[in-house]
Amino acid sequence: MSHPLLAALRSDDPAARAAACRAIADDPAGALLVEGLVDGLGDRERTVARAAGEALLALARRSDGVAPLLRAGLRIAQPGAATGDPVARRAGRARRIRAALLLARLEPPGPGLLPALVDGLGARDGDVRWAAARVLVDMGRLHPEIVGVLIGLVRSAGDPSARRMASFALRELAPDLPQAAAALLSATEDEDRDVRHAAVTALAGLLDPPATVVARLAELCGDPDETLARLASLAHARIEAAGGTEAER
């Protein structure tokens, strides 16, 4: 017989599913229902997925069995891949991304989280995108190879959201690296408008930017895209206020 709370997790009512997540967190036997919560991380309703995540964090503080199940969730084959079911694929993707973000809150993030976190940069949920970017920055401080991953994403990630978020993460992680400046500079010519905006914003945070950055920002101050022009003007002014480029000092 199915546990009543597991049955509630399958309710058609999102409020009932979220309430079931919270009830599992408070249940003395909640650790036995963790798999249902892990499935809930892929719920189509953001409020339910968040409730499942908070419940898993609460249970993880009381039980050592939560983290292994989250790790297992990262290795599950893509649901719906064989049948072409897009709903199942989206749920599986969301579940893996949120599982990786939870693991990063429970223990130092390791390279095993990388595929899910990279995927998270293109998530529909803006909060998830920013959380994935923050964890990648934290990982990069322990694993220098993450910088190269971010540079590659800025240049060629298929999802514009991933290119945009990678730009912000790269600025935070490697503001003094010439290769990072070069990648962001190239992103100012990206086909996606939001990526171009993000690249210009990220350029403003560089340390000792090369002269080519200042020249490109000056050029973009006259861009027909008024938002881009305004961002470029602000970025140019910020770099000048900080003392200009290394070559100018």
**249 — pLDDT class (breaks 50, 70, 90):** very low
Q: Is 20 exposed, middle or buried (0-12, 13-18, 19+ CB in 10 A)?
A: buried
Query: What's the chain look like in SS3?
Result: CCCHHHHHHCCCCHHHHHHHHHHHHHCCCHHHHHHHHHHHCCCCCHHHHHHHHHHHHHHHCCCCCHHHHHHHHHHCCCCCCCCCCHHHHHHHHHHHHHHHHHHHHHCCCCHHHHHHHHHHCCCCCHHHHHHHHHHHHHHHHHCCHHHHHHHHHHHHCCCHHHHHHHHHHHHHHCCCCHHHHHHHHHHCCCCCHHHHHHHHHHHCCCCCCCHHHHHHHHHHCCCCCHHHHHHHHHHHHHHHHCCCCHHHC
Question: At 240, is the pLDDT very low, low, confident or very high (cuts 50, 70, 90)?
Answer: confident
Residue 85 above 90 pLDDT?
A: no
Q: What is the pLDDT of residues 8-58, one digit of tens each?
A: 999 999 999 999 999 999 998 888 899 999 999 999 999 999 999 999 999
Gap between the Cα atoms of 187 and 226, Å rounded: 18
Rounded percentage of the chain residues whose pLDDT exceeds 70: 92
Look up residue 65 and give its amino acid: G
From CA 164, how far away is CA 192, in angstroms rounded? 9
**pLDDT value at 1 more than 50:** no
> In the predicted model, is pLDDT for residue 157 greater than 50?
yes
Average pLDDT over residues 55-70: 90
Provide mean pLDDT across the span 157-174: 96
Whole-angstrom distance, CA of residue 217 vs CA of residue 44: 41
From CA 216, how far away is CA 175, in angstroms rounded?
Answer: 17
pLDDT category, 149, cuts 50, 70, 90? very high
* pTM of the model as a whole: 0.87
pLDDT in tens, 109-147: 888 899 999 999 999 999 999 999 999 999 999 999 999
Give the model's pLDDT for residue 73: 76
C-alpha Rg value of the chain to the nearest Å? 21
In the predicted structure, residue 243 carries a pLDDT above the cut 50: yes
Structure tokens at 42: 């892929």
Domains in the chain and their CATH numbers? 1-107 (1.25.40), 110-249 (1.25.10.10)
Q: Is the pLDDT of residue 2 over 80?
A: no
**How many residues are recorded in the chain?**
249
Per the prediction, the chain carries an average pLDDT of 90
